[in-house]
Amino acid sequence: MGSDSRFDAFRALAERRGRPGVGLLESLSEAAKAGQGPAEVWAPEVAERFGLPAAAGLGPASFYADLAAPHGRRHVRVCTAAACFAARAGRHLSEVEGVLGVRADQIDADGEVSLQSVRCLGYCYTGPACLDGDTPCTGPTLADQLSGNAEPQAPPIPAVDATGAPVLLAGVVEGSDAWQVWPGVVRTRTPERVLAEVSASGLRGRGGAGFPVAAKWAAAGGSPDTVVVANGDEGDPGSYADRLLMEADPERVLEGLALACFACGSRRGVVLVRSEYPRALARMRVAVERARADGHLGRRIHGTDVDLNVEVVAGSGSYVAGEETALVAGLEGGRGCARPRPPYPTRRGLWDVPTVVNNVETLAALPWIIAHGGDAYAARGTPSETGTKLVCLSERFARPGCYEVELGMPVLRIVAELGGGLREGSELTVVQVGGPLGGFLAADQLDVPLSEAGLAGRGAALGHAGLVAFDQHVEPEQVLRHLWEFAAAESCGACSPCRVGSGRGLEIVRSGAPPGEEYARLLRVMGEASLCAFGRRVPAAVRSLARAYGGRPVGWDR
């Protein structure tokens, strides 16, 4: 049987039960938040309401962090990701546990308070951070805020354009209104013309893979059944660009999604927002309702024969679920595990229809490209990697925030000039770029272009382009252990090389023993045989970390 004919028992059964999909996960989420005990108690009942077997409820309920975590009447999510870890060398976690009286990923004896450790809340510029319910608390007084001895603090994201003519931050820093391009496009242009402009622009996906956007659209074949997904499941710790766009300029994201749907011939769009971004979720939903009221979405848009419906859905807490095949599985109500490719989602995606998944930042660039032309966009950045990019600087920098820069700008200039170096009392040792699987650069190796090609030459990757600074207060062994903890916690488990390898890698590092042949073999197998980029990138990140620290821990760069 060919790969395009793979049988999926859950999908086949869900098809017969009316494709519950997102509805199943929403109901599971409501049951989890009700605090009725472990998933074995409530998940089978939820599945039964949809006419599905118990396994259909227990599968996602035991997979997604938000569903598997115990929930008390007060539920606190504490960030343990890279930027918050770097801010205090991880000490904030024990402080939070102390003031709440409960250990991470546990619930207290009377079910009053629960604490869930998560990997990134999008407050990397002001960490460490927590969400107390949906109320953010950030900064060095985090424990006092949670205990009630200080008011909750969550400053807005500092946003700066460093290009002179912003593409992505036009609405945020200049107040430029969205929905200026869409009415004219839908009335006077063709999908082919929009596709041609985006092709001329050279725009590549900003979610990490860097695939040419126009080529992905073309691969969907122009079917009216195509679904276009705005991927707001920004899971790379250190990046909060998507959160900024969805909170501060959601209309521009929606206009970009509408343009993508138009170019693909699609009548349906989906915006997926990670659950760790409750404010972004709310603002995207308001923006969709406003767009419908203004005639930008719905039936016969602006007097044409174009129909477009957009819905906003919440994620359930999983890093790998942002990978496009895992994202599709989640939208169908299943576990967010990566699927083998081919078939690619553009051929067989959500419920077997062509599905295009574009990152939020990618979509936000489209209104500018259509308004100014693909050639104008291609003139920016580098010849091979065109345009601009949002770069996020973490809390250790003197001027943390989200900066729009042209691709190709030296990382050293971003760190030293835009970020102002590190805050007083901190000495830069290494910079993590592009998330935990992107890679690490030593403080004296930053004179490299911010581009996929430039960073690849140093063993790193562009990813979401979040820059997390580590200073002298964090030891190399701590960073290495933190990297493996992330890998072990966030592996979806769909393939043995990543599932077994990430767990065993963490065991070896925790043991403190010097690396041997097993460790070298483990890295080799993960890098070559993992199903998706998550497992394949872990070894590269581990090796780049050891190189950035000059071989410390000794031998770990094997």
Q: Which two tokens stand for residue 310?
A: 């957009």
Rounded CA-CA distance 173/322 in Å is 28
Question: Residue 368 pLDDT more than 60?
Answer: yes
Extents of the domains making up the chain: 3-63, 74-147, 161-378, 388-471, 476-548
Write out pLDDT tens, residues 487-541.
Answer: 999 999 889 999 999 999 999 999 988 888 999 999 999 999 999 888 999 999 9
Q: Which CATH architecture has domain 161-378?
A: 3-Layer(aba) Sandwich (3.40)
For 78, 119, 120, 207, the CA distances from 400, given in Å and listed in that order, are 20, 19, 16, 21
Check residue 459 and give its pLDDT.
87
* 556, pLDDT greater than 90: no
Count how many Cα atoms sit within 13 Å of the Cα of residue 91 in the half-sphere of its side chain.
8
388-471 has which CATH code?
Answer: 3.10.20.600
Instruction: List, edge to edge, every strand of the sheet that includes 309-314.
Output: 309-314, 268-273, 227-232, 355-359
What is the spatial distance between Cα 109 and Cα 112, in angstroms, rounded to a whole number? 8
Enumerate the H helices of 494-532 as residue ranges.
496-511, 517-529
Question: Which pLDDT belongs to residue 1?
Answer: 35
CA distance 289 to 266: 19
Report the distance separating Cα 319 and Cα 534, nearest Å: 9
- The pLDDT tens digits for 438-470 are 899 999 999 999 999 999 999 899 989 999 999
- C-alpha of 438 from chain center: 13
Confidence of residue 20 (pLDDT cuts 50, 70, 90): confident
Residue 486, SS3 per DSSP: helix
271-286 pLDDT tens trace: 999 999 999 999 999 9
In DSSP terms, which residues pair with 141 in a beta bridge? none
Strand-pair partners of 312: 271
The confidence band for 3, taking pLDDT boundaries of 50, 70 and 90, is very low
Q: What is the pLDDT of residue 2?
A: 41
Q: Which position has the token pair 């989602």?
A: 345
**Residue 4, pLDDT score:** 54
pLDDT at 425 over 70: yes
With cut-offs at 50, 70 and 90, classify the pLDDT of residue 208. confident
Q: Is the pLDDT confidence value at 5 over 70? A: no
Average pLDDT over residues 392-399: 98
Are 239 and 464 within 8 A, CB to CB?
A: yes
pLDDT average, residue stretch 58-63? 94
Taking residues 549-556, what's their average pLDDT? 70
pLDDT at 232: 96
The greatest distance separating any two alpha carbons of the chain, rounded to the nearest whole angstrom, comes to 69
Architecture category of domain 74-147 in CATH = 3-Layer(aba) Sandwich (3.40)
Strand partners of residue 386: 381
Residues 6+ apart with CB under 8 A from 452: 210, 385, 461, 462
405-418 tens-digit pLDDT: 999 999 999 999 99
